[in-house]
Amino acid sequence: MNSINLIGRLTKDIQLRYTNSGKAVANATLAVDRRFQKDKTDFINLVIWDKQAENLANYTGKGSRIGVNGRIETDSYEKDGQRVFKTEVVVENFTFLDSKNDSQGGQQQGGQYTQTQQPAYDNNDPFQPGGGPIEVTDSDLPF
């Protein structure tokens, strides 16, 4: 089974091209932080085809957070007498992971995504930064 799931941020705007037959193809690089080594990042080359390539190019930009799933493909070729190996992820599905506030509060400027306002937090919501404590009584427990 050849399957991969990644979450990361685009390192640059999507490069959208069309084949001679009119099929859309896009290339991108996804920056993925390592789970247990927060100071290390892997840069994964992506290839996206057809309508998904157009959608990704139209609705994301540098710094956009996305989730992808797909398959790994490897290839090799000769260049200047040296064997060059290439590994990339062929994206089968992707998900936009920037919150609605991020996409509404930000704007696209020269290929860079800039945040124009911070989302408002409710200080009484225990699941938000600075939220209040959750009180649990014995009657709340299921056992």
pLDDT at 118: 47
Q: In terms of Cα–Cα distance, which of 90, 92, 3, 8 is closest to 42? A: 8
CA gap 47, 40 in Å, rounded: 23
Nearest-Å Rg of the Cα atoms of the chain is 20
- The CATH number that applies at residue 36 is 2.40.50.140
Residue 68 forms part of a structural domain:
yes
Locate tokens 């920037």: which residue?
98
SS (H, E, C) 30-58: EEEECCCCCCCEEEEEEEEEHHHHHHHHH
Domain encompassing residue 68: 4-101
Q: What is the pTM of this model?
A: 0.64
The structural domain count of the chain equals: 1
CA gap 16, 61 in Å, rounded: 12
Residue 79 forms part of a structural domain:
yes
Residue 51 region by backbone torsions, left for phi larger than 0, else alpha for psi between -120 and 50, else beta:
alpha
Give, for all 143 residues of the chain, the pLDDT tens digit: 999 999 999 999 888 999 999 999 999 999 999 888 778 999 999 999 999 999 999 888 899 999 999 999 999 989 899 999 999 999 999 988 876 555 444 444 444 444 444 455 555 555 555 555 656 666 656 65
